[in-house]
């Protein structure tokens, strides 16, 4: 199993700081993906685009959610 290199995570919820699991989604780039990608920066930009697009869709649900957060971490 390949180790994770970058983790992007979107969380959202009604009460600030209390994420609702059904809205939590993660994107991972493994070390293998990073080292074999023709352009690893493009790979990161694509995954980040997916994560921020998802966060944007969640932001459009003020009847269900009060906050949305996108985090990323290099591992």
The 10s digit of each residue's pLDDT in 34-44 is 999 999 999 99
Which strands sit side by side in the sheet containing 67-74, from one edge to the other?
A: 25-30, 4-13, 67-74
Q: Global pTM?
A: 0.91
Q: The domain containing residue 37 runs over which residues?
A: 4-74
Q: What is the mean pLDDT of the chain?
A: 96
> 54 and 25 in contact (C-beta within 8 Å)?
yes
**Tally of structural domains, the chain:** 1
Q: Tens digits of per-residue pLDDT, 42-60?
A: 999 999 999 999 999 999 9
Positive or negative: CA dihedral 70, 33, 1, 4: negative
pLDDT at 1: 62
User: What is the SS3 assignment for 50?
Assistant: helix
Give the pLDDT mean for 13-26: 97
pLDDT band at residue 4 using 50, 70 and 90 as cut-offs: confident
pLDDT the model gives residue 42: 97
**d(Cα 74, Cα 15) in Å, to the nearest integer?**
27
């Amino acid at each position: 199993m390949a180790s994770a290199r970058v983790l992007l995570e979107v969380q959202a919820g009604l009460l600030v700081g209390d994420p609702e699991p059904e809205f939590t989604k993660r994107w991972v780039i493994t070390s293998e993906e990073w080292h074999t990608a023709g352009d690893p920066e493009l790979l990161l930009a694509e995954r980040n685009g997916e994560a921020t697009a998802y966060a944007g869709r969640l932001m459009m649900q003020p009847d269900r959610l009060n906050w949305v957060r996108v985090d990323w971490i290099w591992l």
